[in-house]
């Protein structure tokens, strides 16, 4: 009787301590998080108007096939004129992205190209140097070399700059030889830099804000979606197996289970004589 009472007492005290520990952890976390959250809401001190474009995330999801299909269409309409994807064939893309042969032929393959062809731009390399000073690079691995967020930021930070031959410039790639090819969709914008210029916390050109000079065919939200889909597609092209890999996990787990079973049988066989 005394024993069980003591036991219950002990249990009660342990439970009490656990509750106390959890409560103080929660309180600690809340205290830690709330100033950070408040600072984020206020947008920091002294630079409320600054645009932190280096913090923009692509937020693309490679398993979203509808987004990848839209991205492929975007690429074929707006990029393949200058950029190639030299490791990707049209038919592989169609298979991975659930695009029918008919859709592929009708909407994505340029006239004269075959499904077995690689996605190559017809843009003559030598002329790139003449026109832009630099040839448009192959974009097969661009999201792997520079990151998806970078490509997203690059496509969203073109601004007018009358001093440049292309009449535009780019925050992510200062002096970019690529013209602002999406300005029909996004509209034209001017960059307002803080008085005195300077660099921001990321070491890049600080930006106060963008000013819309003329509107584009898309709303800002639609344009973000357009860029996100395009980056998503480039991210798939950089590593096409990403899309397949998701279905692969379950087979790997099954293989490991079967393998463990075999290993166990083998162990039984080895130790038979000893026992
Ligand atoms: C009129 C030709 C042209 C078109 C169309 C074009 N680009 Fe470019 N692009 C270029 C050139 C030229 C460069 C090289 C820029 C440089 O190095 O200064 C480039 C560079 C790039 C880069 C590399 C930037 C870096 O940091 O090195 C990316 C990414 C890119 N383009 C994406 C795109 C996407 C996505 C599209 C379609 C929406 C597109 N481009 C359409 C000409 C073009």
Q: Tell me the two tokens of residue 66.
A: 């509808």
Burial of 208 (0-12, 13-18, 19+ CB in 10 A): middle
Q: Is residue 243 part of a domain?
A: no
pLDDT at 14: 52
Identify the residue whose tokens are 């798939």.
Answer: 236
- 266: Cα within 13 Å, side-chain hemisphere: 6
Say how many Å lie between the CA of residue 226 and the centre of ligand 1: 16
Do 21 and 107 fall into the same domain? no
CA of 83 to the centre of ligand 1 (A): 7
CATH number of the domain enclosing 177:
1.10.760.10
Find the 128 Cα to ligand 1 centroid distance in Å: 11
Does residue 134 have its Cβ closer than 6 Å to ligand 1?
yes
Give the chain's domain count.
2
Q: What's the confidence (pLDDT) of residue 149?
A: 97
What is the model's pLDDT at position 108?
Answer: 94
Determine if ligand 1 sits within 6 Å of the CB of residue 90: no
**pLDDT tens, position by position, 52-111:** 899 999 999 999 999 999 999 999 999 999 999 999 999 999 999 999 999 999 989 988
pLDDT reported for residue 88: 97
Ligand 1 centre to CA of 109 (Å) is: 20
Q: Could you tell me if 25 and 146 lie in one domain?
A: no
Residue 273 in any domain: the answer is no
Per-residue pLDDT, averaged over 229-250, amounts to 88
Atom of ligand 1 nearest to the CA of 133: 12
Write out the two tokens for 29: 């976390």
Pairing of strands 168-170, 158-160: antiparallel
Whether residue 131 has its Cβ less than 6 Å from ligand 1: no
| pLDDT tens track for 141-177 | 999 999 999 999 999 999 999 999 999 999 999 999 9
Question: Are the C-beta atoms of residues 165 and 154 closer than 8 Å to each other?
Answer: no
**Residue of the CA atom closest to atom 33 of ligand 1:** 79
pLDDT in tens, 184-224: 999 999 999 988 877 777 777 789 999 999 999 999 999 99
- Give nearest CA residue, ligand 1 atom 1: 82
Cα angle at 106 between 101 and 108, to 5 degrees? 85
Query: Both 29 and 103 in a single domain?
Result: no
CB 154 near ligand 1, within 6 Å? yes
- CB 81 less than 6 A from any atom of ligand 1: yes
pLDDT number for residue 21 = 54
Position 32 scores a pLDDT of 47
Contact 169, 220 (CB under 8 A): no
Establish how many alpha carbons lie within 13 A of residue 203's alpha carbon, considering only the half-sphere containing its beta carbon: 0
Which residue has its alpha carbon closest to ligand 1 atom 22? 137
Residue 117: which domain range?
Answer: 53-238
Report d(CA 126, CA 118) in Å as an integer. 20
228 CB within 6 A, ligand 1: no
The pLDDT, as a whole number, for residue 46 is 41
Euclidean distance between the first and final Cα of the chain, in Å?
A: 47
Residue 81 within a domain: yes
Both 60 and 20 in one domain: the answer is: no
- pLDDT tens, position by position, 3-53: 554 455 544 555 555 555 555 555 445 544 444 444 444 433 444 567 889
Residues 66 and 118 in one domain: yes
CB burial of residue 5 (10 Å; 0-12, 13-18, 19+): exposed
Asked whether 142 lines ligand 1 (CB < 6 A), one says yes
C-beta of 176 in contact with ligand 1 (< 6 A): yes
Is any atom of ligand 1 closer than 6 Å to the C-beta of 79? yes
What is the per-residue pLDDT for 180? 97
**Chain segment 113-151, per-residue pLDDT in tens:** 999 999 999 888 777 777 788 889 999 999 999 999 999
How many residues are recorded in the chain?
Answer: 275
Does any domain span residue 144? yes
Please tell me the distance between residue 221's alpha carbon and the centre of ligand 1 in angstroms. Answer: 22
Tokens representing residue 202 in the block: 């990321």
For the chain, the three-class secondary structure string (H helix, E strand, C coil) is CHHHHHHHHHHHHHHHHHHHHHHHHHHHHHHHHHHHHHHHHHCCCCCCCCCCHHHCCCCCCCCCHHHHHHHHHHHHHHCCCCCCEEEEEHHHHHHHCCCCHHHHHHHHCCCCCCCCCEECCCCCHHHHHHHHCCCCCCCCCHHHHHCHHHHHHHHHCEEECCCCCCCEEECCCCCCCCCCCCHHHHEEEEEECCCCCCECCCCCECCCEEEEEEECCCCHHHHHHHHHHHHHHHHHHHCCHHHHHHHHHHHHHHHHHHHHHHHHHHHHHHHCCCC
139, 109: one domain:
yes
């Amino acid at each position: 009787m005394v024993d069980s009472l003591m036991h219950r007492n002990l249990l009660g005290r342990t439970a009490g301590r656990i509750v106390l520990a959890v409560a103080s952890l929660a309180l600690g976390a809340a205290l830690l998080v709330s100033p950070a959250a408040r600072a984020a809401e206020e947008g920091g001190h002294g630079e409320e108007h600054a645009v932190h474009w280096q913090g923009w995330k692509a937020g693309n999801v490679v398993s979203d096939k509808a987004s990848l299909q839209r991205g492929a269409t975007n690429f074929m309409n707006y990029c393949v004129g200058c950029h190639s994807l030299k490791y990707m064939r049209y038919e592989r893309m169609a298979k991975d992205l659930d695009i029918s042969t008919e859709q592929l032929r009708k909407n994505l393959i340029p006239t004269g190209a075959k499904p077995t062809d690689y996605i190559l731009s017809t843009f003559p390399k030598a002329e790139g140097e003449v026109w832009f000073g630099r040839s448009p690079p192959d974009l097969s691995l661009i999201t792997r070399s520079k990151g998806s967020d970078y490509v997203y930021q690059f496509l969203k930070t073109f601004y007018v700059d009358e001093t440049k031959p292309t009449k535009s410039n780019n925050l992510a790639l200062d002096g970019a030889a690529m013209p602002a090819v999406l300005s029909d969709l996004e509209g034209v914008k001017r960059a307002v830099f803080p008085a005195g210029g300077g660099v921001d916390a990321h070491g890049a050109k600080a930006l106060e804000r963008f000013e819309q000079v003329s509107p584009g065919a898309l709303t800002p939200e639609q344009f973000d979606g357009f860029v996100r889909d395009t980056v998503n597609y480039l991210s798939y092209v950089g590593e096409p197996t990403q899309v397949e890999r998701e279905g692969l996990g379950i087979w790997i787990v099954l293989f490991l289970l079967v393998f463990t079973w075999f290993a166990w049988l083998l162990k039984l066989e080895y130790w038979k004589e000893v026992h």
